[in-house]
A = this chain, B = another copy of it.
């Protein structure tokens, strides 16, 4: 990106701001659905700043421009912003003010800050208004920064939606709608507006190719008093999908009619999740808006049904088989001295995985970090950083797939040569935590944050830790990150319920040395009921061997070794029948040999 172009865009924005009487503009990384992954149309912050990272908000004032982003992107943002006149604000450092605090300090009383209210969630907008209000600064919420400036802006995505067959989804859209409506009536509402794209896709059993990695369609879904309506660009529909939606009791209306549509709905109480609804949309509802912390569709979506779980188990076997071929190829290339880079690793995984007719997309960009790169969270190799693998050190590979019958997400860390004692110790401490969490049994009212320390305890004893969560929710042929559940240091008031899928991914990252993460997906299941109540446990879904050569058996208990050997044997049993090549069979059998003290 030419730095001069960025300077000109910022200058044009300043002129527009000036005409609108604004003292500052905030351009967040967001869309009207508060999505994690954005369609090209919504990459407004990227267009203005030239910074391509997935997190970061831009603030422009008459004499300055500032980009807030977190530690994952300090290096990248520093390079991309250099020469643009945009200053990097390192989010998370004690010395960096919040955007609110920065504005309050730099703007005069009586100033106005412009934002596009479609890109701010209700609580984010409230917090901005409240904070700035104390300093006599107001917020103008209908300022669209890119309008009139971004001439070649990509259109809204127009891929066709398609039906996610009930043979994968397990429950029809009409049954899901009925369940949601029953729930919202119990809450005292008579309608609901769903803005979150994955909740809409789940409810209607529709999918689409609007954004990479998450197969959702850009739309709003209104259910209840006045009829069920999907607000979606007509270009995304076909006669077949229109007929399908009609069958399920859902009419359609144009996506861009959302404001007039909502202004006219006959409902009295429209249930929304404010954290996943834009401030502008919520304001149209006015007093009709009925706030809940978690939408019933999100609760239903989180607890997978038996059809979905059968699909996920099949997807895990399929993914494991593809990974056997991929890891075998990688190891062979390294062993025989064929030039292989981190980007090659990602390509090899994709090639083997995408051979399946049920492959739809990767569920996120594969992270293949060799040596010190393994210690960089969310590392994605590019032409510039791309390391060549050698026959020593650790390779961390984190990737996943959107299969039609389930979403996968797995991390394995392997030794490319004979591992050092340090590598083995670090790896085994991570595995001890992985096993402790994976084998936990817990009462049926337990929140993820209560279990998080089980995965960290062994690292802590050696003065190590990791800053990311231990487990995130995972969707079914949907978001690889989904709520409401999680297993993490921070408190989240959501109990783990049967049918929920989360990751189990402790890790440890030695800057400049190596990174280790061991990730399986696990399913919350009922365990038993006693005089003390109901208890739950985890079933491990992911099927691929861990690297025996990294296991320091001297620090493992008999129970840990037993779990490990049982897991490796299960992997072998599940994958072997799907392998035909003798070399692949031999590779898998070798990788799943039991370990002992």
Contact = CB atoms under 8 A, between A and B. Distances in A.
A55 interface: no
B535 A491 contact: no
A146 to B, nearest CB: 40
Given A449-B491, A454-B453, A457-B454, A463 B557 contact: no
Contact of A511 (B441, B453, B465, B531): B531
A465 B532 contact: yes
Q: How many A residues touch the partner, as a band?
A: 20 to 34
Interface string A3-40: 00000000000000000000000000000000000000
B557 A460 contact: no
Interface in A440-454: 440-443, 446-447, 449-454
Contacts of A465: 443, 532-533
Interface string A35-67: 000000000000000000000000000000000
Contact of A460 (B441, B463, B531): B441
Q: Which of A441, A530, A532 has the most CB of B within 10 A?
A: A532
A460 B493 CA distance: 21
Interface string A424-465: 000000000000100011110011011111100100110111
A493 B449 CA distance: 13
A248 B441 CA distance: 55
A495 to B, nearest CB: 11
B532 A463 contact: yes
Contacts of A442: 453, 460
Contacts of A589: none
Contacts of A489: 450
A447 B527 CA distance: 28
A150 interface: no
A541 to B, nearest CB: 21
Given A440-B457, A493-B491, A535 B452 contact: no
A289 to B, nearest CB: 18
Interface centre among A452, A491, A557 (most CB of B within 10 A): A491
Contact of A441 (B441, B450, B451, B461): B461
A530 B463 contact: yes
Contacts of A533: 465
Given A449-B449, A491-B491, A491-B493, A535 B463 contact: yes
A509 to B, nearest CB: 9
A587 interface: no
Interface in A457-489: 457, 460-461, 463-465, 489
B452 A454 contact: no
15 contacts: A436-B457, A440-B453, A441-B460, A441-B463, A442-B453, A443-B460, A450-B450, A450-B452, A451-B453, A453-B454, A454-B457, A460-B535, A463-B528, A463-B532, A464-B532
Given A436-B457, A450-B453, 14 more contacts: A440-B460, A441-B461, A442-B453, A446-B453, A450-B489, A453-B454, A454-B457, A463-B527, A463-B528, A463-B530, A464-B532, A465-B532, A491-B491, A557-B557
